[in-house]
Each structure stands twice: as C-alpha cells, then as structure tokens.
Chains A and B, each alone.
Chain A
C-alpha cells in the first residue's frame, strides 16, 4: 500500500503529520491526522504542591499559556476556598481577552491569512506572514500592532507576555496602576480600530469560504452565560449534530458528559460525549451555542456570519470567520473592562491558607475551545490526581475525519501535489490545533513531504 505523508503540518502550533494510505487503484483508503508526541503533564504534576500548578501548566503551550494559567488558578482557588474580589476577577477576565486578541490575531493574520491573501496554491516559500509583509505591508503592520495589544496587556496584568505568573490563589498578585490602564486603553482603542478595519477584509472571505472542504457533522460544546458569549464565567452547553441541547456542566460534573479514548496511531487523545456522539469546541462551537456576543461590532459581524453560514454551522472553514467575530468581541470587551473604574481597584486578592476542598475544577474557554484543569490534592495540598481536558483533543476526531474527507477529493491518480497538500493543511489550520496543548508533548517524528512507494503496513 502506498502512503503519502505531509510532515510536519506547518503554520500550526506544534508538531503533527498527515498520513494518507492509498489502495491498489491509487484511491484513498484511509487518512489520519496523527500526533507523535507526548509530554505527560497529567503524570508529572502528581506530587507537586498544587499552588505550583498555575506556574507549571502555562508551559504546556506558548500560544495560550494564559488560558492554562487561569484555568489552573480557578481550580486552585477552589482548593484553598478563596474567591477573587471583583477587581481580581475583572483583571483575570482582561487577561482572557488579551489571550484571545493575541492568539486570534496571530491565527487569522499570520497563520491562516497567507492562504487567502497570497493564495493557497502560491509557492510554499512565499505563503507565510513574511510573504504577506512584502505583498501587503499595511495588513502585516496592523496585524503586528493588534497582536502587540494582547501581549502588552498580558505583560501589564499577568507579569509576562508569555507564561504569565500573576494569577495567584484568590485573585491576582498586583493591582493595575492608573498609568498602565490609561496607556493600555489608548492601545486598545487603536486595536479595535484595526480590528474593525480588518473585518472589511475578513468579510470578503464570507462568500469565498469553501463549505465543502473537510466537511464533517458533529455536536458542539462551549460556554455561554444567559445566552451570551462568555469566556470565563458561565455554563458549558452541549448540543447535538442537529443543534438540540444535550446537557450542560459547570464543574466536576464534566466527567458525566465526556469520555476520552485513544488510538494506536496517535498520542493525541480523543474526547466524545457520553452518548458516543462526537463534538467540536472553539470559536465556531461557541458561536453556534450563544444567542449573541454582547458587544455591538461583534454582534453586527455575527449577523453577517449567520446570514452567510446559518445559525448552526458545521463547515470547518467557517471557523476562520467565527474566530474573527470573537476577535472583535474581545477587542470591544477589553475597552469596556479598561474603562471600568473598578479595574484599578487595589483589592485584588483574597489571602489563601490551608486546603479547604480536596478537589478543584477550573473551566474556561481558551482560544481553541473549552479547557478543563481538574486537580485532586491530599490534605496538605499536594496533587494526587490531575486531569487536563484541552480543546484540540475535543476536536481531534473532527480534524481526523476532515483530513480524510479532504484527502479523498484532493488525491488524484495517487498523487497529492504540494498545493493540494496545503488544501488539506488549510482544513487542519481552520481548527487552529494546538498540539503542545493536546499532548503536553515531548517530541515529534517529522518526515519530509513525500510520496513513499509500496510501504507495507
């Protein structure tokens, strides 16, 4: 049997490959999105003092470290029985939006946009953000500027732009100073202007989005609050393929709703609903499950998104636009938070002491989807059990099926051209997978992009 390999899949976070097996008639027999790395945070956190977890777990991923930091801090708050005061809570929400601004801007403009703006069949050496900087310097500069907003907020509020440290049990470690607030607000207003201008570009993709590439049908899961899009406080809603509600969870009850399983060909775990149905998380899921975004520009964009794709969207490539709608919402919400006088309050932290609860479950929405950190500790607060449910594992079945569906249409006479290979990667990119998150990885096994003849497997 002939095997075609795309490795590494590029312009995504982390290391993954696509393997396509062809039968004797040179047709696609099967294809997989396979991840060949594992890091093992769930094991090596055992024995750690639980207050160290918010410092260790950001290192799962350098793109969404804030999400891990905050999910971990939420779990640890519960263990020490402390609730962040209003300002602490708002500063954490600000950090979440900063995480979304950086991650979504990076994905849309720097990772995905080269396929749309330079061309998915352009030469591989030009199809990237550096090519974009040459072709459309204004877009590239704007992308850099708005992503910088996210990182500057994270640095000011979280202590560091990558692997922040300031979310501590009971809140955050320091207040935001007035000078910082004023400077960030100016940046945020500029950022929103860039995001608004960028929507003019993004919306042109509404009509050109290929709804059939990598098509799959699944249920969806994501957080909302009273029907509104919400990233860090709310209930995780689950709906089936047809949009019918299948339940919800807010804490340790998540284990009744989802199950993990594994396959011999990948280190990536898979997550499905207790009913056996598969589901997806992330921007598209969140938009499918909420009624409204809650901010004017994002709601206007959501209306256009729904006018084109419908109210319950299955097409994977629509996620690129869903991500943009969320990016607008986070820019708007950031300004609201920075305009709120409470954001510079000095009561940011409730002091913590002894262990109050032996288990803590932190749940929030990371840029790529619902993130769960679940720790059980001994009476002194040392971790006995740790379970991490990350977005990409919840999407892994859909990514895998999308890859096979796309491969069936793109392999011609047993040959996958470089440009066709990139079409498969575009589908993968639309999920914005985060391999480091998904596997808490240790290494990879890359192979050059090649067609191997007659490999017996």
Chain B
C-alpha cells in the first residue's frame, strides 16, 4: 500500500494532524509506505502507482491546479483532506480582494513597507478565484476539519488503508455539545469577545454567534466545550451540503429566529462582518457559492470592487 500527501495552498496543519497520530503512525507505516510527503521527506515529485493520496490545501494558482490533476492521475484513491481541500478554507478569504490589490497592499501598504517597494514579478499568478479541490477534480472521499482531529483520524486512516470505510457520525457540532438550551428570553446579539459566557447553556441562546448548528461535527465540540463559540471550521453540516435551499447564512438566521421569536429581518439587521464570521472557511468553495441563496457572491463583489 503506497500513500502520499500532496500540499496545495494551506498551512501544513493537515500534515501535522497526521503526525499527531503519534505512536499510532508507526503502526500505519508498518502496513503502508509513505512514498511522497514534502514536509517530512525528500522525494521531490509524486511517483506513479500511489494507492491512496491525501490532498490538503485549496487551489489558488495554476500550479496548484496542475498538481491536483497530476495527483489525481497517479492515485487510485484520492482523498480531499481538511477544510481547505474540502471547501477552500481560510485561503478563500483572499477572494475578498482582487489579486492586484492584495499584492499592492502587502508589499506597499503596511506600516513597515515603502510605497515604492518592488513587487514580486517572477512568481506564479493567481487564478481568478480560489477553488476547493472537489470543484476541479473527482474526489473519492472527503475528510473535513481544520485540521481533522486525532480521535477520528485514528479510526479513519487504518480503515481506509484496509480498504474499508468506517461508519462515523455525520451529525453537527451541536450533537457533540454538552450544553443545555434552557429558556431564551430577551435575546440580543453579542460580539464574541463581549462578557463571559456561562458554561451551562447554549452559546447561541446566550447571544453569541456559535455555528455549531450549521457545522459538521467530529471535533467533540471542542470550542463550545472550552467556552468558545464554534467558528465553523469543519465546514457545513450535512443538511446544508445536501439541500440547495439551505446555506450557512440562511440556516443560522432561521435557527436564531426559531430560538428567539424575533423575525429573520430583525436578526439580519444585527449581523456584522458576514464574510469573516459566516464564511471564513467556505468562501473559496464553488459549490457553496453556487447555492442561489449564498451570500458569498455578494460579499466578493462588494469587497473586490
């Protein structure tokens, strides 16, 4: 069994997540041979005949796209690994600006740069937008998570290597959360840094934008468990993935309306910074953008103008 890890536009956190199997990794490499993984080994190009390849990161330039196509050809089974691969991830936020503005700003517009600084030229240019890998190539499996968590990878990877697909929860973060709803009265939106949430009750019910209801689980609800609202880093919940009329934004608004008795219009007025709060992990996904009700297209148009 030959396995490979290809990295596109990302942070290497998904490769670290595999190292975070710790001693269990030694058992895996007894059964499977890692033939290509540039962060940890010196093989410079993926060889032919890969049985399972994990592709991490999003596609943001033509080179990413070529590497994705190459690994698709060389691997019998291709797995989109992590939220960037599945939905574009944080890199997708770069779509809020045109590539020209982005480069001008980074090299000339911050406190320690000069307005006449040279701009990188002998470097690859961006594609017109970010893509999730599944937007451009056929995937056999998707493993979401920013990055995927050890407790699930330790079940998923050995099974995949044995040619099996493990049966795992497909529920939302809320299903893994131990908080109680309680009664919600006088609901008012709070910014996520305001005050200190109580540990017993639903964070959304307390007024914080907690995305547990619209986010795919398999993290043990680790953020709500730590008294921090969910940011949706595992990507959308299954109902949103399946139903064209359901999107992160409208399902959140509907959820708050159900919870509070306020009208959806009232709630929408209170929302702030929709790009960074609702879509930080999915803005680069064509599938998510293509939903007729998604806000992504408007956000990109508004900012990159």
Distance in angstroms from A399 CB to nearest chain B CB is 16
* Chain B CB within 8 A of A85 CB: no
The answer to whether A351 and B196 touch across the interface, beta carbons within 8 angstroms, is: yes
Complex Cα gap A449–B45 (Å): 9
Check A260/B124 contact, CB under 8 A, given A40-B97, A62-B147, A436-B11: no
In the complex, chain A residues whose CB is within 8 Å of the CB of B110: 42, 260, 385-387
Complex Cα gap A106–B17 (Å): 13
In the complex, chain A residues whose CB is within 8 Å of the CB of B97: 40, 43-44
* Chain B CB within 8 A of A163 CB: yes
Partner of A44, one of B8, B12, B94, B272: B94
Interface residues of B in 94-109 (CB under 8 A from A): 94, 96-97, 101-103, 105-107, 109
Distance in angstroms from A347 CB to nearest chain B CB is 11
Complex Cα gap A349–B106 (Å): 34
In the complex, chain B residues whose CB is within 8 Å of the CB of A55: 231
Distance in angstroms from B113 CB to nearest chain A CB is 5
The answer to whether B231 and A349 touch across the interface, beta carbons within 8 angstroms, is: no
In the complex, chain A residues whose CB is within 8 Å of the CB of B120: 38, 262-267
Interface residues of A in 329-367 (CB under 8 A from B): 349, 351-353
Partner of A174, one of B43, B191, B227: B227
Distance in angstroms from A23 CB to nearest chain B CB is 19
* Chain B CB within 8 A of A7 CB: yes
Q: Which residue of A lies closest to B7 (CB)?
A: A15
* Chain A CB within 8 A of B251 CB: no
> In which size bucket is the chain A interface?
35 or more
Distance in angstroms from A333 CB to nearest chain B CB is 23
Instruction: Tell me the total A-B contact number using a CB cutoff of 8 A.
Output: 281
* Chain B CB within 8 A of A127 CB: yes
Interface stretch (choices A45-53, A211-219, A276-284, A288-296): A45-53
Complex Cα gap A212–B14 (Å): 36
Distance in angstroms from B255 CB to nearest chain A CB is 20
* Chain B CB within 8 A of A191 CB: no
Interface residues of B in 169-195 (CB under 8 A from A): 191-195
Complex Cα gap A259–B113 (Å): 6
Check A444/B64 contact, CB under 8 A, given A374-B111, A387-B110: yes
Interface residues of A in 427-444 (CB under 8 A from B): 436, 441-444
Q: Which of A34, A40, A48, A129 has the most CB of B within 10 A?
A: A40
* Chain B CB within 8 A of A389 CB: yes
In the complex, chain B residues whose CB is within 8 Å of the CB of A15: 7, 38
In the complex, chain B residues whose CB is within 8 Å of the CB of A144: 22-23, 25-26
The answer to whether B106 and A264 touch across the interface, beta carbons within 8 angstroms, is: no
In the complex, chain A residues whose CB is within 8 Å of the CB of B275: 47-48
Interface stretch (choices A165-173, A221-229, A320-328): A165-173
Interface string of B48-81 (1 = CB under 8 A from A): 0000000000011101100100000000000000
The answer to whether B106 and A40 touch across the interface, beta carbons within 8 angstroms, is: yes
In the complex, chain B residues whose CB is within 8 Å of the CB of A351: 194-196
Check A52/B147 contact, CB under 8 A, given A42-B110, A174-B226, A262-B118: no
In the complex, chain A residues whose CB is within 8 Å of the CB of B118: 261-264
Interface stretch (choices A154-162, A201-209, A236-244, A300-308): A154-162
Complex Cα gap A385–B105 (Å): 10
Complex Cα gap A413–B277 (Å): 57
Check A352/B194 contact, CB under 8 A, given A13-B12, A166-B228, A258-B112: yes
Interface residues of B in 223-272 (CB under 8 A from A): 223, 225-228, 231, 233, 272
Q: Which of B63, B106, B121, B303 has the most CB of A within 10 A?
A: B106
Complex Cα gap A382–B303 (Å): 15
The answer to whether A159 and B60 touch across the interface, beta carbons within 8 angstroms, is: no
* Chain B CB within 8 A of A230 CB: no
Complex Cα gap A381–B276 (Å): 14
The answer to whether A161 and B20 touch across the interface, beta carbons within 8 angstroms, is: yes
Interface residues of A in 1-34 (CB under 8 A from B): 7-8, 10-15, 34
Q: Could you pull out 27 A-B pairs where Cβ atoms are within 8 angstroms? A: A34-B122, A36-B63, A38-B120, A42-B106, A43-B106, A47-B273, A49-B192, A80-B193, A130-B29, A151-B20, A159-B225, A159-B228, A165-B226, A169-B193, A259-B114, A262-B120, A264-B119, A264-B122, A265-B123, A269-B107, A385-B110, A385-B111, A436-B12, A443-B8, A443-B9, A446-B67, A448-B45
**Extra inter-chain contacts (17) besides given A47-B276, A162-B13, A169-B193, CB under 8 Å:** A13-B39, A47-B96, A56-B90, A62-B10, A62-B12, A111-B40, A125-B42, A141-B23, A173-B228, A254-B112, A263-B120, A264-B122, A265-B120, A351-B194, A351-B195, A442-B61, A444-B124
Which residues of A does B touch, CB under 8 Å? Answer: 7-8, 10-15, 34, 36-40, 42-45, 47-49, 51-52, 55-56, 59-63, 65, 76, 80, 106, 110-111, 124-125, 127-130, 133, 140-141, 144-145, 147-148, 151, 159-163, 165-166, 168-170, 173-174, 254-255, 258-267, 269, 271, 349, 351-353, 374, 381-382, 385-387, 389, 422, 425, 436, 441-446, 448-449
Nearest first, the 7 closest Cβ-Cβ pairs linking A and B are: A62-B13, A51-B193, A443-B61, A128-B41, A442-B60, A159-B226, A59-B90
